[in-house]
Chain A
Amino acid sequence: MTPTAQDIDLATSQAMKSSFRDQGNAKLDRLTLDASNQACSESEGAALEDKLGKAIEEANLKTVKFPADGKLIGNWAEGERVAQSGRGLTWTDSATAANGGSCYNCHQISKTELSYGSIGPSLYNYGKLRGVTDPTAVASKPIVDYTWGKLWNSKAYNACSGMPRFGHANILTEQQIKDVMALLLDPKSPVNQ
């Protein structure tokens, strides 16, 4: 009487097909899973087998695009606005308005914002704790590049990371990511005070 894995997969895919419809900018193609989401859905929260996890991370790392102008650090005050905004990509959002990063939904970032979530780690003093005194210095390059990669495609470093892939999935623009980079890494940003 216990359903087989095959029964469950078939019933799940039928239920998914019959249950959803397009609404606003939220179309059915959003339910097509890439290899990362396929593997991380199937694992139901458990760690992936090493080899599979590594393969997913490598594939995601290949998608990371660095800015053509080589400038990775924007304006921290703009970055704070992106971090505050949870707007964008729901079926009630306009397709043309700027998306937010929803960063505070999950992370502590600046000390002055008390309304922050706890799904992700605290990012308060992110740059300071990592010894970044000048984000353009050669010594800062490894952590600056890693942070860019993490924002662009979090699954490049953790296959089943809970964080959205802000660059890869076109959630934020390159400029918005530069500004969030500044929020996290600029010594003048309130995050690093």
Chain B
Amino acid sequence: MNNHLTWALLGLTALLISPVASAQKTTAEGIAEYRAMLADGNPAELYEAKGEALWKQARGPKNASLEKCDLGKGAGVVKGAFVELPRFFKDTQRVQDLESRLLTCMDVQQGLDVVEIAKTRFGAGEQKNIESLVAYISGESRGMKFNLPQAHAQEKLMYEVGKKVFYLRAGPMDFSCASCHSEDNKRIRLQDLPNLTKQPGASVGFGSWPAYRVSAGDLWSMQRRLNDCYRQQRFPYPGYASDVTVALGVYMGVASKGGVSTAPALKR
């Protein structure tokens, strides 16, 4: 076990065994304290470093790096790309989020089998590499403000689709994203829920993923975060980088306009 993780577990234990009085301290305060303890050691940094190496490493049947990948700001430009995604891409004629765009680059630049990668379970095989890549790419925009482009008709349409999907109630429990994320100051159990429909909640929520998730001991991408939301919504399984997930990214990203990206952040 590395040092970061040891400290993380000690911190968690301290929170769990706190007396009742401090348990009643708001969850936000407890988590803020816990994050402060880890401020100089978010394990996401390890993923960022690995992601940077992966970005520059020649891989795949074409033995090429991703350095010619266009994330929206020109071939190879990483800084600032994250806070403008998802956006429309001319070459694919689609609105893409970071992960669907990475699949395009891994296909075109490196010749990897991206259909297979999209089917791979989270945390395994090439999905493991994607975790590191999204940590690196998002980290290069840390502290920058969200400013998704909305000029293209497809971008406007995907925003509206994302909004519809956000409010779509279904499944045996009649849940939608809005069930948990459309009001201020709500909690599930002790977990604070960001209101993702407007600022500041939108960028607090959307703007912290990808994140190192202490409870999972792993770095979760936005796709993985959305996948687990849908699991708990009791919906069927959303495909990796599917249109619904990209549309939600546009909706939440546009709602985050002006908010600061803290990804890859540290989560419980």
Contacts and interface: CB of A to CB of B under 8 A. Distances in A.
A94 interface: no
A48 interface: no
Contacts of A136: none
Given A26-B236, A44-B167, A90-B231, A3 B174 contact: no
B13 interface: no
B15 to A, nearest CB: 12
Nearest to A16: B244
B243 interface: yes
B66 to A, nearest CB: 26
What band does the interface of chain B fall in when counting residues whose beta carbon is under 8 Å from A? 35 or more
Interface string B9-32: 000000000001001100000000
A92 B157 contact: no
B79 interface: no
B165 interface: yes
A8 B160 contact: yes
Contacts of B53: none
B235 to A, nearest CB: 6
Interface stretch (A29-37, A49-57, A74-82, A137-145): A29-37
A118 B185 contact: yes
A165 interface: yes
Given A18-B243, A26-B237, A31-B235, A119 B182 contact: no
17 contacts: A8-B164, A11-B160, A12-B164, A12-B165, A15-B243, A20-B238, A26-B231, A31-B170, A37-B174, A41-B167, A45-B167, A90-B232, A92-B231, A104-B189, A105-B188, A119-B183, A169-B173
Given A3-B153, A8-B164, A28-B236, 17 more contacts: A3-B156, A8-B161, A12-B160, A15-B244, A19-B244, A20-B239, A20-B244, A30-B236, A31-B170, A31-B171, A33-B169, A45-B167, A92-B231, A105-B188, A114-B24, A118-B185, A119-B188
Interface of B: 20, 23-24, 153, 156-158, 160-161, 163-165, 167-176, 178-180, 182-183, 185-191, 193, 231-232, 234-239, 242-245, 247
